[in-house]
């Protein structure tokens, strides 16, 4: 019986222990994401949480502690949203915290009651929580997946080696690998006499990792690549002039854009395509039923493109006169000499509360409109994904590209569909002007201002790894960049400064876009893992509560209970 008491004493029972260990996971996770972006902490971040999952006898306490800690965690990580919508952050943080809290609760139930080893239960449940958070009906929120810590986010930087796993089964596979390693670290730190067994499992995991990385690298080198010269315009326009515009300020901003466009067109070698940021042209860019521009800036933009003679992707609005007509956030391909734009992509993945307010009408009027950064109705219509844009190059090749707008490149489902429809490159139009101008040196808001840009660039890199497609980003206020199909950042412009990014966009020489394993079917890994996590949860919910199989409580007779190897 002495062994039983000793084992029971190792269980977590106090609120202090639960909150302290989960807070340690929160701190490690925060440091692993930019900024500072110490990606190696991704291997350790879930280790304290693994101790909680494996040793807590109270699933309810695990959920409550997880909800408290991650509500505070998201409040901190989303600090760049405070200048946009304070009420929105106060609502979003606890809502998103439900997912990691529930993942920890489900893993604890699977371990304590379902007799599932921690190294299986926690990684599966954690990644399932990330997946469900990214696809939930109110628009999804795919930021801050554990696997994203492996991505590149700085000038001329490359991702960690294990980030290439994303080309096989997406960022969820990278998250799963990191969560598994953290659980093994927790086992080493809290157990004795098991080092050999743990090293054996580490060896197997390392062999699997190297195999998958090799497979990913092979996929990225299947087709010889040649480049096409492109240019991305980075403006530095404040978002305040979007909310309360004056004609004088809009005209001054357009003159700055025109100067940058002329500089890009005059460069040698001459770019085959110029990319503008999101909604950079004030007013609707489309023409009305009579074929006339509805905005003087649209007329000036078309004249500028005609003057310089280079095809241009323009970020602008779409609307028609009259009540109830659709309004879109759009990207237009404008060709010199063509009176009508060659193609248009309307934004599919709208930002909740920024571009539409979810929920029933009465709830919008009563409460939800307070979460919007606007004091007027800015509801946009959801677009439909079409075929990639096609641009005939001077050397006879055809460039096929898709244009994810703003946070659309944080949605892996959308970029996968773009790749599946034949896109050879992703051209991302974004404005980060929402989050203000670059703070002065020493300003307390500087870290948050830089963090959101680095985090967005890091996520965009994962979309390139998953699809094998290069990404060119034109971002108002930065960071504009070129990301290769393997996630390497090969060119950037300093944030907070206007400029032109000249880059060589790598393309398949044979004219057929590559297909990574992720695009071919690896995207099913995340929902399959969510199903597995559900089975683990059901095992914990419906199996009778027995002795803790992870703690391996000794029986009164001194023997070991049934249950197999410890996790």
- The Cα–Cα gap between 389 and 410 comes to 20
Statement: residue 114 has pLDDT above 70: yes
- The Cα–Cα gap between 135 and 531 comes to 15
How wide is the angle at C-alpha 349 spanned by C-alphas 380 and 315, nearest 5°? Answer: 65
pLDDT digits 0-9 by tens, 511-560: 455 688 999 999 999 999 999 999 999 999 987 454 444 433 333 333 33
- Cβ-contact 488, 481 below 8 angstroms: no
pLDDT at 127: 98
pLDDT digits 0-9 by tens, 222-240: 454 678 999 999 999 987 7
Phi-psi region of 328 (alpha: psi -120 to 50; beta: other; left: phi over 0): beta
Question: Any alpha helices (H) in 56-85, and if so which ranges?
Answer: 59-77
Statement: residue 210 has pLDDT above 70: no
pLDDT at 45: 98
pLDDT digits 0-9 by tens, 347-380: 999 888 778 777 767 676 776 667 777 776 778 9
pLDDT at 225: 60
Higher pLDDT, 324 or 209: 324
- The Cα–Cα gap between 160 and 151 comes to 6
Higher pLDDT, 209 or 381: 381
- The Cα–Cα gap between 502 and 516 comes to 27
Instruction: Give all strands of the β-sheet with 481-483 in edge-to-edge order.
Output: 389-392, 398-402, 425-431, 471-476, 481-483, 489-492
Phi, psi of 431 (to 5 degrees): -125, 125
**b/e map of 239-272 (b: 16 or more CB within 10 Å)?**
bebbeeeeeeebeebbeebbebbeebbeeeeebb
pTM value is: 0.90
| Residue 333 burial by Cβ neighbours in a 10 Å radius (0-12, 13-18, 19+) | buried
Nearest of 108, 123, 105, 124 to residue 11 by alpha carbon: 108
pLDDT at 405: 97
Indicate the helix (H) or strand (E) that contains 474. Answer: strand 471-476
Distance linking the first and last C-alpha atoms of the chain: 23
Domains of the chain, start order: 15-221+522-544 (no CATH), 224-348+383-508 (3.60.110.10), 349-382 (no CATH)
pLDDT digits 0-9 by tens, 133-150: 999 887 789 999 999 999
- The Cα–Cα gap between 561 and 567 comes to 14
- The Cα–Cα gap between 548 and 270 comes to 68
The sign one gets for the Cα dihedral 213, 214, 215, 221 is positive
Answer whether the bond into residue 506 is a cis peptide, omega within 30°: no
Statement: residue 270 has pLDDT above 90: yes
Statement: residue 247 has pLDDT above 60: yes
Statement: residue 111 has pLDDT above 80: yes
Nearest of 180, 177, 273 to residue 229 by alpha carbon: 273
The number of angstroms, rounded, from the C-alpha of 144 to the middle of its chain's C-alpha atoms is 7
How wide is the angle at C-alpha 78 spanned by C-alphas 72 and 83, nearest 5°? Answer: 120
Statement: residue 20 has pLDDT above 70: yes
Statement: residue 203 has pLDDT above 70: no
pLDDT at 558: 39
Beta strands in 493-559 (DSSP E): 499-508
Average predicted confidence (pLDDT) for the chain: 85
Choice among 322-336, 404-418, 505-519 with the minimum mean pLDDT: 505-519
pLDDT digits 0-9 by tens, 45-72: 999 999 999 999 999 999 999 999 999 9
pLDDT at 550: 40
């Amino acid at each position: 019986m002495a062994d039983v008491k000793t084992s029971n004493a190792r269980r977590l029972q106090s609120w202090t222990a639960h909150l302290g260990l989960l807070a340690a996971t929160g701190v490690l996770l925060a440091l692993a994401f930019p900024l500072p972006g110490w990606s190696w902490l991704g291997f350790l971040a879930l280790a304290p949480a693994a101790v909680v999952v494996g040793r807590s006898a109270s699933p309810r306490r695990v959920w409550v502690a997880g909800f408290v800690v991650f509500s505070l965690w998201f409040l901190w990580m989303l600090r760049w949203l405070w200048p946009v919508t304070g009420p929105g952050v106060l609502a979003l943080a606890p809502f998103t915290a439900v997912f990691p809290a529930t993942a920890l609760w489900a893993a604890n139930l699977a371990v304590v009651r379902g007799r599932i080893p921690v190294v299986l239960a926690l990684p599966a449940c954690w990644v399932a929580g990330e997946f469900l958070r990214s696809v939930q009906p109110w628009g999804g929120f795919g930021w801050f997946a554990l696997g994203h810590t492996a991505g590149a986010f700085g000038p001329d930087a490359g991702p960690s080696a294990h980030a290439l796993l994303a080309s096989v089964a997406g960022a969820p596979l990278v998250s799963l690998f990191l969560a598994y390693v953290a659980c093994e670290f927790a086992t080493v730190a809290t157990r004795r006499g098991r080092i050999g067994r743990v090293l054996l499992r580490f060896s197997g995991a390392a062999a699997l990792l190297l195999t998958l990385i090799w497979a990913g690298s092979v996929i990225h080198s299947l087709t010889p690549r040649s480049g096409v010269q492109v240019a991305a315009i980075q403006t530095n326009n404040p978002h305040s002039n979007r909310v309360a515009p004056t004609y004088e300020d809009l005209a001054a901003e357009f003159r700055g854009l025109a100067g940058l466009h002329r500089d890009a067109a005059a460069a040698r070698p001459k770019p085959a395509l110029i990319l503008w940021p999101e909604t950079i042209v004030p007013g609707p860019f489309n023409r009305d039923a009579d074929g006339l521009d509805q905005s003087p800036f649209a007329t000036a933009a078309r004249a500028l493109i005609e003057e310089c003679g280079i095809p241009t992707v323009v970020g602008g609005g779409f609307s028609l006169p009259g009540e109830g007509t659709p309004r879109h956030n759009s990207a237009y391909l404008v060709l010199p000499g063509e009176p009508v734009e060659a193609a248009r992509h309307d934004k599919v993945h709208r930002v909740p509360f920024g571009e539409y307010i979810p929920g029933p009408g009465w709830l919008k009027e009563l409460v939800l409109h307070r979460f919007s950064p606007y004091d007027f109705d800015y509801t946009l219509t959801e677009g439909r994904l079409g075929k990639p844009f096609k641009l005939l190059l001077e050397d006879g090749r055809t460039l096929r590209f898709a244009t994810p707008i703003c946070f659309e490149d944080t949605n892996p489902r959308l970029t996968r569909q773009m790749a599946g429809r034949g896109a050879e490159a992703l051209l991302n139009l974004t404005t980060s002007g929402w989050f203000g101008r670059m703070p002065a040196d020493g300003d307390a808001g500087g870290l948050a201002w830089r963090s959101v840009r680095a985090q967005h660039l890091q996520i965009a890199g994962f979309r390139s790894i998953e699809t094998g497609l290069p990404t060119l980003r034109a971002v108002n206020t930065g960071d504009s960049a070129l990301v290769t199909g393997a996630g390497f950042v090969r060119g950037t412009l300093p944030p907070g400064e206007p400029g032109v990014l000249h880059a060589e966009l790598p393309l398949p020489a044979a004219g057929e876009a590559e297909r990574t394993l992720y695009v071919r079917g690896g995207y099913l890994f995340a929902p399959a893992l969510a199903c597995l996590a559900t089975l683990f949860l059901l095992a914990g919910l419906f199996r009778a509560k027995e002795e803790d199989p992870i703690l391996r409580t000794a029986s009164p007779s001194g023997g070991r209970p049934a249950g197999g190897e410890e996790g």
